[in-house]
Amino acid sequence: AAERLPLDFVLCLGAHSMRDEDLFGGLLPKEGEDREEYMEHLPADAKHVWTCRVGRQPSQARHYVDDEREAAALLAQLGAATRIGQEKEREQAAVQLQLDEAAAASIDGDAVGERAAAAADEQSLRSALECMDEIEEQISGFQLAFFLDYDGTLTPIVENPSEAKLSEEARSVVRALSYRFPTAIVSGRARATAQGLMQLDGLYYAGSHGFDILGPDGSNYKMAESFRPSLEEAKVKLEEQLAHIAGALVEDNNFSVSAHYRMVAEEEREAVNEAVERIVAEMPMLRRTYGKMVYELRPSAEWDKGKAVEWLIENWIKRSCELPVFPIYIGDDVTDEDAFRVMGGLGGFGIIVSDFPRLITDTAASYALRSPLEVLHLLDHFAFSSPSAPPSERISALVAGGSAAESESEASPFVERRTPAERYSER
């Protein structure tokens, strides 16, 4: 097993309850003792311990955030900081591999390594959160429109697709976003499934990779309804051929059929691939596409998420906007590249969601975010930002847990006024 990395910090985050207060108190220094009561149960290298309360009521916690939204933003910020070391290790490993290959070929390894490192820096995507001032300049004078993937973008990727539930915090942010800007969910899921997961009116929904589109007013556009009988037949065949493979899931997305193999044992995944290949060979009216641990059968029509976004803007969204439309598409999957590729022609840009954006070299996206929590952070800014506050200051204030203008008199006597983000920056 790999050697355990040193424990950088421990964050204890809780609401107001006796059990939370007991834990907060147990992590406080005791007079005459080197370590706190509960610290005895933590590794010896856990040198940085924070206690943080959600809300401003009196508490033994040393820090606070105002609500669940700020807690999510804080966790996104800390998660991004924690992954930096892992990302650098991955990059160093990639460069070392090139060095080894160069040495084996009797090439100047140092020169190859330098070129590889320089190329990685040039091609790496910048975080959208770190470029908010630049983004604000680009969108000035335009009508923003947001297009959001669901799985891996608004919710984390999970083994079973049915377990990808949207948090109430994310739902409230997307709801608020839709009040200000046209907002669409563009998903590989069936349109009705996407609606059921979001539970929000007032959105545009493009399900089945854009083959089934619904507007906020109930208008509906279906691209390939004549393919439904073939897709139903393909679903039955897939279910029959994958029935003996543990963990294989077949999902009917109305205008596509998905074969999920995330929960399939490694040695049986090729059997899933072969089953999909056989069906495509038998049914030329369908084509196979790829996603994250999923094969999909779609109509052979020339249509994808990018074309769906173009259609939505041209036929519905533009008609309700006085200003030119500036689209922002956020997604994490291979299928979202179709939308990223058309963003430039539409006058907007794409944002890819990836744990390791600096390792991505083959995307048409312009910026990156590391997780659904960072997506929520970005959307929160556009949904709730104050026009009078510069964007970089607004996001910093969100993570810091309140306005710097708040007076010391408002603080609880039990709460230190420095927030976790401020304490972390001091290290």
Q: How far apart are the first and last CA of the chain?
A: 30
pLDDT score at 114 = 55
* pTM, rounded to two decimals: 0.67
Residue 367's DSSP bridge partners are: 126, 351
Q: How far apart are CA 245 and CA 266, in angstroms?
A: 11
Answer yes or no: is pLDDT of 266 > 90. Answer: yes
Q: Is the pLDDT of residue 12 over 60?
A: yes
The mean pLDDT of 273-284, rounded to a whole number, is 95
Question: Percentage of the chain surpassing pLDDT 70?
Answer: 71
Which residue would you say has higher pLDDT here, 117 or 382? 382
Determine the average pLDDT of the residues in 401-406.
37
Sheet holding 367-369, edge to edge: 126-127, 367-369, 349-353, 325-331, 143-148, 183-186, 204-207, 212-214, 220-222
- Of residues 172 and 103, the one with the higher pLDDT is 172
Q: HSE, CB side, 13 Å, CA atoms: give it for residue 257.
A: 23
Q: Render pLDDT for 127-147 as a digit per residue (tens, 0 to 9).
A: 999 999 999 999 999 999 999
Angle of the 168-180 helix axis to the 372-384 helix axis, nearest 10: 40
Q: What amino acid occupies position 173? A: V
Two tokens at 140?
A: 């000035």
pLDDT at 90: 55
User: Average pLDDT in the 204-230 region?
Assistant: 95
Cα 25 to the chain's mean position, in Å? 35
Q: Would you state the pLDDT for residue 155?
A: 95
Give the tens place of pLDDT for each residue, 53-84.
888 888 888 788 888 777 777 776 666 555 54
Is residue 45 annotated as part of the catalytic site, yes or no?
no
pLDDT at 392 over 90: no
Task: Please state, in angstroms and rounded to a whole number, the distance separating the CA atoms of residues 352 and 333.
Answer: 8
What pLDDT digit, counting tens, does each position of 165-207 carry?
A: 999 989 999 999 999 999 999 999 999 999 999 999 999 999 9
303-336 per-position pLDDT tens digit: 999 999 999 999 999 998 999 999 999 999 999 9
Give the CB-side neighbour count of residue 410, counting CA atoms within 13 A.
10
Identified catalytic residue from 108, 110, 149, 332 = 149
Least confident of 11-25, 248-262, 367-381: 11-25
DSSP class of 317? I
Question: pLDDT confidence of 95, banded at 50, 70, 90?
Answer: low
